[in-house]
């Protein structure tokens, strides 16, 4: 609950602090005294946008602080999600500078405005006059019924399944569109693949063929050179190898005459053995080099095919060509597999849809079970607040699956027992909407965890017994919730556990708004003024005492 609200330098408020009770808090005051300014300041710590124009003193900054007493279970999800430290007392602070810069803090830890708005959703329900427009909103009407059903986990599980279903639908559509596009390219890609497959190139083949062609084209020249080398090494009248052998033996014979001679003889032997090995390799190469006109023609044809495919695909090597072949094979295979993938997604869609329809049917039954007692309770409360002929009807229409089930929920209203129901937002007056919203929230509040409900002039358009009954409903609601209510009705003010009076004060040529908690006799006087005017009569004072006595009883 909201324990204290501190406001500094906001609108026509210089500085004030308000300590609230945990039950029914009523705020009264003359029109224009600044009652709604309090809620404007409160809305800042609940995540509303700031405006530097509201600064009382343009040279300073505006600071709004709210002190909340909370249970960890209320806000545990928020604190864990945003890695904030939990404390039993929650302090929310909002600062607005003259330049318009705004900062927000939760227990002195900076947070952004979206986080502040999210947190306020766990703490306060702020009902202002224009909020009655939400009654005509389909989402609000559904949320009311779902709050009464109070099966949040089931609805969340359904929504997760629905999100998965939508994702599979998107995948199917994308794959279906891709298949249409891919089919247009399939024939061409298949042709390119078949052409490369038929060519049948091996890794680095064209580069190897270039080397082979050089050898084939110069076969005669190569053989002449090799024959000459081999002849001079081994078959000449005085072969080089034979001469080296003789020289090596001569050097070896001198080994005992000079210390360096054995090493020179060894080197000569190494040269002899190396040239002998070269002669053998030359002979072997020579045996394999043959001029082959047919092979030359075949190699030329093969290379011409390779060069043509190089140019066609914009590459320069065999390996690049083979990479294109592999990519084309994948494209063709993917297209051929699309039908199987589409069939699999169709089956997945059908499975998910079946599960969703079953879950949605359960949700529908739960909503229908709550609709009738909800109608009866609201209609009873409407009669209590001075609308005995008014009727609310909840119409649940089953349709297509949506993120919240399969239902369209609409509140229909008949103000005069005519049995001619129409959408509530089109036929109910402002005063009727205010009272209807109070009746609905008083029922919904029993099913939700919001500790604090705030009503700004919920009594618009009513007086007398209807106003008294609104006070009775608020008083009853305050047994389990903190209520803060701005009112002009003495019947409601008389039900308060704490009565605050808002007034203007002129000091040093400045008009400021102040708030004070009224003592018992002050309450009697203020309620009497609300009944009969600035100078209350004795009857009004007596009536005020009776109101307070009945409230305390």
Tokens of 64: 């709004």
- CA proximity to 513, closest of 157, 32, 154, 27: 32
pLDDT at 366: 95
pLDDT at 338: 80
- CA proximity to 98, closest of 147, 151, 62, 135: 62
- The domain made up of 1-131+450-518 has a fold known as Rossmann fold (3.40.50)
Per DSSP, the chain holds a count of helices (H) and strands (E) of 17, 15
Spatial distance between the Cα atoms of 427 and 393, rounded to a whole number of angstroms:
13
pLDDT at 52: 77
Tokens of 27: 């705020």
CB 96 within 8 A of CB 102: yes
pLDDT at 186: 77
Spatial distance between the Cα atoms of 92 and 35, rounded to a whole number of angstroms:
21
Spatial distance between the Cα atoms of 414 and 296, rounded to a whole number of angstroms:
100
What SS3 state is found at 326? Answer: helix
CB 444 within 8 A of CB 395: no
Task: State the span(s) of the chain assigned CATH 3.40.50.300.
Answer: 1-131+450-518
CB 507 within 8 A of CB 499: no
Length of the chain: 553
Those residues whose C-beta lies under 8 Å from the C-beta of residue 279, and which sit 6 or more positions away, are 229, 230, 233, 234, 241
User: How do 62-69 and 2-10 pair as beta strands?
Assistant: antiparallel
The mean pLDDT values, 10 residues at a time, for the chain of 553 residues are 91 90 91 82 86 82 90 80 83 88 90 88 66 69 87 90 94 83 77 89 89 78 82 82 85 84 87 87 80 80 89 91 90 78 91 95 94 93 88 94 93 89 81 81 74 78 81 88 89 92 82 90 90 85 85 61
pLDDT at 23: 92
Spatial distance between the Cα atoms of 33 and 54, rounded to a whole number of angstroms:
16
Q: State the burial class of residue 233 (Cβ atoms within 10 Å of its Cβ: 0-12, 13-18, 19+).
A: buried
pLDDT at 443: 84
CB 266 within 8 A of CB 180: no
Spatial distance between the Cα atoms of 36 and 381, rounded to a whole number of angstroms:
27
pLDDT at 284: 85
Tokens of 20: 């609230």
Spatial distance between the Cα atoms of 396 and 408, rounded to a whole number of angstroms:
6
CB 429 within 8 A of CB 160: no
Spatial distance between the Cα atoms of 115 and 40, rounded to a whole number of angstroms:
19
Please report the DSSP string for 54-103 in residue order: GBSSTTS-EEEEEEEE--HHHHHHHHHHTT----SEEEEEEEE-TTS-EE
Spatial distance between the Cα atoms of 384 and 363, rounded to a whole number of angstroms:
31
For 334, other C-beta atoms within 10 Å of its C-beta total 15
pLDDT at 374: 93
User: How do 510-517 and 498-507 pair as beta strands?
Assistant: antiparallel
**In 402-483, alpha helices (H):** 424-427, 430-444, 464-477
CA dihedral 212, 215, 217, 219 (to 10 degrees): -140
Tokens of 384: 């209590």
Spatial distance between the Cα atoms of 1 and 497, rounded to a whole number of angstroms:
15
CA distances from 321 to 29, 193, 201 (A): 87, 11, 9
Q: State the burial class of residue 429 (Cβ atoms within 10 Å of its Cβ: 0-12, 13-18, 19+).
A: exposed
CB 453 within 8 A of CB 409: no
pLDDT at 127: 55
To which H or E segment does residue 394 belong? strand 391-402
């Amino acid at each position: 609950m909201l324990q204290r609200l501190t406001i500094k330098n906001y609108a026509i408020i210089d500085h004030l602090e308000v300590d609230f009770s945990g039950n029914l808090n009523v705020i009264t005051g003359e029109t224009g005294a600044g009652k709604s300014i309090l809620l404007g300041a409160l809305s800042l710590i609940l995540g509303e946008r700031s405006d530097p124009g509201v600064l009382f003193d343009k040279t300073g900054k505006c600071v709004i602080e709210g002190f909340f007493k909370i249970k960890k279970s209320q806000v545990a999800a928020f604190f864990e999600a945003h890695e904030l430290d939990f404390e039993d007392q929650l302090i929310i602070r909002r600062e607005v500078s003259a330049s318009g810069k705004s900062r927000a803090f939760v227990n002195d830890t900076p947070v952004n405005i979206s986080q502040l708005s999210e947190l306020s959703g766990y703490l306060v329900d702020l009902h202002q006059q224009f909020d009655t427009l939400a009654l005509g909103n389909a989402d609000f009407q559904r949320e009311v019924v779902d709050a009464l059903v109070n099966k949040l986990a089931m609805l969340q599980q359904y929504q997760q399944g629905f999100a998965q279903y939508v994702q599979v639908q998107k995948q199917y559509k994308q794959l279906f569109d891709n298949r249409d596009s891919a089919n247009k390219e399939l024939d061409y890609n298949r042709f390119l693949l078949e052409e490369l497959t038929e060519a049948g190139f091996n890794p680095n083949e064209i580069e190897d063929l270039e080397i082979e062609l050089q050898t084939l084209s110069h076969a005669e020249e190569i053989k002449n050179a090799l024959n000459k080398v081999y002849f001079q090494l081994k078959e000449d009248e005085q072969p080089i190898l034979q001469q080296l052998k003789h020289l090596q033996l001569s050097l070896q014979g001198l080994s005992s005459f000079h210390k360096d001679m054995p090493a020179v003889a060894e080197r000569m032997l190494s040269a002899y053995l190396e040239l002998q090995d070269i002669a053998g390799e030359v002979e072997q190469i020579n045996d394999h080099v043959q001029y082959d006109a047919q092979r030359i023609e075949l190699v030329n044809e093969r290379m011409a095919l390779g060069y043509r495919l190089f140019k066609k695909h914009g590459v320069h090597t065999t390996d690049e060509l083979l990479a294109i072949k592999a990519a084309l094979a994948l494209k063709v295979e993917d297209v051929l597999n699309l039908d199987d993938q589409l069939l699999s997604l169709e089956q997945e869609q059908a499975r998910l849809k079946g599960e969703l329809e079953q879950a949605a049917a359960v949700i529908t039954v739960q909503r229908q079970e709550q609709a009738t007692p909800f109608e009866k309770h609201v209609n009873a409360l409407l009669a209590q607040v001075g609308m005995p002929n008014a009727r609310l009807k909840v119409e649940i229409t089953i349709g297509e699956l949506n993120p919240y089930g399969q239902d369209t929920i609409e509140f229909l209203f008949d103000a005069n027992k005519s049995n001619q129901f129409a959408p509530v937002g089109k036929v109910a007056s402002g005063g009727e909407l205010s009272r209807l919203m109070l009746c609905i929230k008083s029922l919904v509040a029993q099913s939700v965890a919001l500790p604090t409900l705030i009503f700004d002039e919920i009594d618009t358009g009513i007086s007398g017994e209807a106003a008294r009954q609104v006070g009775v409903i608020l008083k009853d609601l305050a047994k389990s919730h903190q209520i803060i209510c701005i009112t002009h009705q003495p019947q409601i003010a008389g039900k308060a556990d704490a009565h605050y009076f808002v007034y203007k004060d002129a000091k040093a040529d400045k008009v400021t708004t102040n708030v004070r908690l009224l003592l018992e006799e002050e309450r009697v006087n203020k309620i009497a003024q609300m009944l009969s005017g600035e100078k209350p009569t004795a009857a009004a004072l007596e009536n005020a005492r009776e109101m307070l006595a009945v409230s305390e009883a």
